[in-house]
């Protein structure tokens, strides 16, 4: 987390001082976490197999494109 950035994680029910979080931010955070979880299933990305940042980002881009292509299949 960047320094000085406000926390965007909702508090638990048993905490006395509660933070309010916009529902839109919670939805976006959930989408990002779910996407990162799918990326971790790709062995090459999870183990950081590549030595160059360029190669690692290419593997992340390829791994990210697979779920997107599955979701956006072309009509036959």
Report whether pLDDT(72) > 60.
yes
Residue 7 pLDDT level (bands cut at 50, 70, 90) = low
For the segment 37-47, the average pLDDT, to the nearest whole number, is 83
Helix 23-40, helix 53-71: angle, nearest 10 = 110
- pTM metric for this prediction: 0.55
- Rounded distance between C-alpha atoms, residue 21 and residue 7, angstroms: 9
Residue 17 pLDDT exceeds 80: no
Residues 19-29: pLDDT tens digits?
Answer: 677 778 878 88
26-31 long-range contacts, CB within 8 A, separation 24+: none
Residue 76, token pair as written in the block: 């036959």
Core vs surface per residue 34-45: b (16+ CB within 10 A) or e: eeeeebeebeeb
């Amino acid at each position: 987390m960047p320094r000085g950035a406000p926390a965007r994680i909702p508090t638990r029910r048993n905490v006395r001082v509660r933070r309010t979080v916009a529902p839109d931010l919670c939805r976006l955070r959930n989408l990002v976490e779910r996407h990162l979880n799918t990326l971790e299933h790709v062995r090459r990305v999870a183990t950081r197999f590549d030595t160059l940042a360029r190669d690692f980002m290419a593997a992340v881009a390829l791994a990210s494109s697979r779920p997107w292509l599955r979701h956006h299949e072309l009509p036959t």
